[in-house]
Structure 1
Amino acid sequence: MYEIATCNFPKNLKQRSRTLTTIKGYNKTDENNELLNSSTLEDLMWILASTVEEVFADESTMPARLEPGSTWAAYNSLIIEVKPKNSVQVTAMQNLERINKYLQGNDKKLIVTLDLGLYRPVLQLQMALSQRNWFLVPGDLHIQMAQLGAIGNYIELTGIPEAWVESGLYSETTVKHILDGKPGRRSLKAHIVTVTSLSILLLESFFEKNHYLKEGCSAIAIEMRNIWKTKDRCDITTQSHSMRERLKDLDFPLKLENFFKEKSELSPTFKMVKNYMHMVFSMLAFARSTRNANWNLRIAALDDFTKYFFALDLRNYAFLCAWYISEVRSLEILDHETLTQLKSGNWYPNKSNNPFCCLGVDEALEQENRRLKVLGGIVGITRRQQTLTKYFLASPEIAKLTRQADVVSSSSNKAMHHEVNNAISTRQNRNVIALLQCLSSYTNPFQ
């Protein structure tokens, strides 16, 4: 399915270190490319509007005062997506299958979401039993943690982690955790801040060569930035689609792609940073697919990222993701009904009903387990009947009361994403500037 055209491994470096050059993926459909390009353009437009002061500081059209910027999650929560209509291993799988047959009949597939640690043994169990009535889905949270780990693996010796420490964003201990992808939310925000800072340097170099595009892009970015103050989702969505088309009319995506190709052939550093940014944008596309319950984007983004698991020799993730994608492709031929159910959005929960707040099933389950945990955790509770009864009867009621108390005491606007907040966006912008100053003190990798 995938071919590594060129993959250089530096000598005398730790095994985790890799230098990727060109990686080609097969079976990429036009639909997948369109979904990924649209997602990346959406992210680039957010970066343009968020960093308008830094990128277009010398423009005469720059207003004296701009509305505060927005975080990646806050911006995406204001873009309206088409929502779906509905919001011991052998023993466990057999019990789930019995429940599924009782509810839906014998001819319906059992769809089970598993973390990557369980996905492989249950997949082996499915093969051993020749059970074709199960459809196994790897959990979104654990896929994203694997993606974060792969990105950390790639940038470990590039100087980016050292820039995080030198700029004061994170301590050395925190950086080690981010490279492993363990604190998922913090790692995601670290890469968003880094890509935003690198994009400022990229756009500076790009507009030096394509100066005739600068005025048009500046007007679009300022207009997008000012429209955020309305917090009106319909208005922002309409303007967002309109401005994406205006960027396409300026040939901004095409010119930027040509700029990448030209510079990549001349500078290994440019190629390294370009690969890193592509990995992050691909991961953000997967995160967007989860939070918006977009099944087609989920498969396209995971298909795009899987080649990096192969290139970085993360064999478990590479095999499991490639197998899962092939299973999804087989549904298009063998089981349209199951595929329709998955595309309808029935694979995700949204606990708050707020926009851009859908969760992977594994993440939602972990959150519920955290709510239900009693002192000492839930490990080994099946050994004592009293503890087991307490877990299944008392803990859900306590969790329900806790949620009701949160609703009563909360003063926030429940109709909005929690990151639609000037304090959060100001903190992110401060981190972007700090990292940008650190990177600029060394060199611009895009020159």
Structure 2
Amino acid sequence: MSLIISNDGVYIPPDLVTDRFIHCSMDNIDFCEDTIYGRKTFHETAVAVYQDVKESDRHAPISLASSNNLPLPNLEDALPKILYCTKPANWNTCCPEPVISNIVQKYGELLKKAICFDSVWFLLRRSILNGNDISIYSATWIGYNSYLGDVKCVSRVSLLPVIPEPPTNSSVQLTVMRLLEKLNIYVNKTTNKVVVTADMAIYKPLKQFEMAKEDCKGKWILKPGELHIIIAQLRTIGGIPELWVECDLYSSVTMKQILEGRHVRRAIEAHLTTATTLNILLLEEFDKERPGKITLLQPLLDELAVSLQSHNETNIKQKHDAVMSFIKENRILEEIKRFVSCRKSVEPVFKMACSCVDMVQSMLCFIRSVRTSY
């Protein structure tokens, strides 16, 4: 508490390393929501700060002393002062125009690489299923990515003092963001933007502040959480729900939950199964119209399938890279894209199926980017 008072009301966790990027997150603490009288529930604001850990990091040992010898400052002086404000009005008029062209130009190659990455898995699934050999190990999408992903460094998680107000309060939101701005300056010694992740209930009003208040513009990078973005994507995809029920994959009740985005794990599983099936059918049609393209790739896919049985990560990565190199050198994805474009213009059902596969692949690219920074 003495450190908070001396640092202008900002608590700087002692384990944070200066001149290193930090990523913050704020959320609601809502324990004991069900009480006998329906009152005195616990709704307060928690803020966490994430920072990568390196082997060279050194921390001073924590010295413990007798509690009788520690002077206790005034608790009110240590708590953050709430900056009371009203909810910004007319914020829609200040919404900046998105620069889509620059984003596509900057990250287009990364997106192409990610789609090629998933195409290898789809081709592998088709190869194994067509072989009718159930003894061959077939990794799931998550399992396959775990083999190929690099080991990421450990993140240090530091907690800031709990604010005794709910985060849905506009004053609390502005107070937290101001504190994080100061913390970012203390840690990074610069005025770079502070990066904050929040759920949609907090993200939306924070975005209103950023677009409506002049002293908030250009200071924050706000991101919805992975879960909420995936829920929005699942609602957008829609899928082919009748197919799930007719094939006895899910009941009608579960199908409704999937379409509403309320059952995330099952929804991802359902859409991934649908996309895999549609991809197999698409590749079958492509192989009939343009024979030989995928046939040349079959030996490499067989080697990749065998390497998966050994669970040797180095060997799996080598075989995977060999398949990706072959796909790029022979421009197989470009050929499939031209084939799809021709069929889309004359077959509406084919167009709908391809759109479903594209949306699922976009969701998979996002999930991988969040979990692996790729």
Q: Is the 8 A contact 1:55 1:204 kept in 2?
A: no
The residue that corresponds to 1:122 in the other structure is: 206
| 1:138 alignment partner AA | P
Q: Is the 8 A contact 1:108 1:133 kept in 2?
A: yes
The residue that corresponds to 1:68 in the other structure is: 137
Are the structure 2 counterparts of residues 262 and 84 from structure 1 closer, same or farther at C-alpha, using a change threshold of 3 Å?
Answer: farther
SS at match of 1:137: strand
Q: Is the 8 A contact 1:80 1:237 kept in 2?
A: no
The residue that corresponds to 1:259 in the other structure is: 339
2:147 pairs with 1:78: yes
2:155 pairs with 1:44: no
2:259 pairs with 1:179: yes
For structure 2, the 5+ residue unaligned runs are 1-99, 157-168
The residue that corresponds to 2:304 in the other structure is: 224
| 1:124 alignment partner AA | Q
1:195-229 residue CA offsets vs partner (Å, 9 max, x unmatched): 11111111111111122224212222222111101
CA distance in 2, matches of 1:49, 1:167: 23
Instruction: Give how far 1:26 is off.
Output: 3.9
| 1:165 alignment partner AA | V
CA distance in 1, matches of 2:153, 2:126: 33
The residue that corresponds to 1:146 in the other structure is: 232
Q: Is the 8 A contact 2:184 2:191 kept in 1?
A: no
Out of 223, 228, 235, the position equivalent to 1:137 is 223
CA distance in 2, matches of 1:261, 1:106: 49
Instruction: Give how far 1:248 is off.
Output: 2.6
2:360 pairs with 1:250: no
| 1:135 alignment partner AA | I
2:244 pairs with 1:164: yes
| 1:285 alignment partner AA | C
Instruction: Give how far 1:291 is off.
Output: 1.1
The residue that corresponds to 2:282 in the other structure is: 202
SS at match of 1:176: helix
Instruction: Give how far 1:125 is off.
Output: 2.0
CA distance in 1, matches of 2:135, 2:297: 16
Are the structure 2 counterparts of residues 178 and 51 from structure 1 closer, same or farther at C-alpha, using a change threshold of 3 Å?
Answer: same
Are the structure 2 counterparts of residues 108 and 202 from structure 1 closer, same or farther at C-alpha, using a change threshold of 3 Å?
Answer: closer
2:233 pairs with 1:192: no
Are the structure 2 counterparts of residues 82 and 241 from structure 1 closer, same or farther at C-alpha, using a change threshold of 3 Å?
Answer: farther
**Percent pairwise identity:** 33
SS at match of 1:217: helix
Out of 9, 23, 33, the position equivalent to 2:108 is 33
Are the structure 2 counterparts of residues 251 and 85 from structure 1 closer, same or farther at C-alpha, using a change threshold of 3 Å?
Answer: same
Are the structure 2 counterparts of residues 82 and 210 from structure 1 closer, same or farther at C-alpha, using a change threshold of 3 Å?
Answer: farther
SS at match of 1:78: helix
1:247-287 residue CA offsets vs partner (Å, 9 max, x unmatched): 23333212111111111111111111111111111111011
SS at match of 2:118: helix
Instruction: Give how far 1:185 is off.
Output: 2.0
Greater radius of gyration (CA): 2
CA distance in 2, matches of 1:30, 1:128: 30
Quick check: 100-109 or 255-264, which moved more? 100-109
Are the structure 2 counterparts of residues 248 and 133 from structure 1 closer, same or farther at C-alpha, using a change threshold of 3 Å?
Answer: closer
Q: Is the 8 A contact 1:80 1:234 kept in 2?
A: no
The residue that corresponds to 2:193 in the other structure is: 109
SS at match of 1:111: strand
Q: What is the TM-score normalised by the length of structure 1?
A: 0.53
CA distance in 1, matches of 2:194, 2:124: 44
| 1:290 alignment partner AA | V
Quick check: 89-98 or 264-273, which moved more? 89-98
SS at match of 2:292: helix
Instruction: Give how far 1:104 is off.
Output: 4.2
| 2:197 alignment partner AA | T
CA distance in 1, matches of 2:249, 2:233: 21
For structure 1, the 5+ residue unaligned runs are 1-24, 58-63, 295-447
Instruction: Give how far 1:86 is off.
Output: 5.6
Out of 140, 153, 174, the position equivalent to 1:90 is 174
| 1:123 alignment partner AA | K
1:126-147 residue CA offsets vs partner (Å, 9 max, x unmatched): 3325224332222222111111
Q: Is the 8 A contact 2:304 2:320 kept in 1?
A: yes
| 2:219 alignment partner AA | N
What do you get for the CA RMSD once the two structures are aligned? Answer: 2.4
| Number of equivalences | 258
CA distance in 1, matches of 2:197, 2:103: 25
CA distance in 2, matches of 1:194, 1:102: 49
| 2:344 alignment partner AA | S
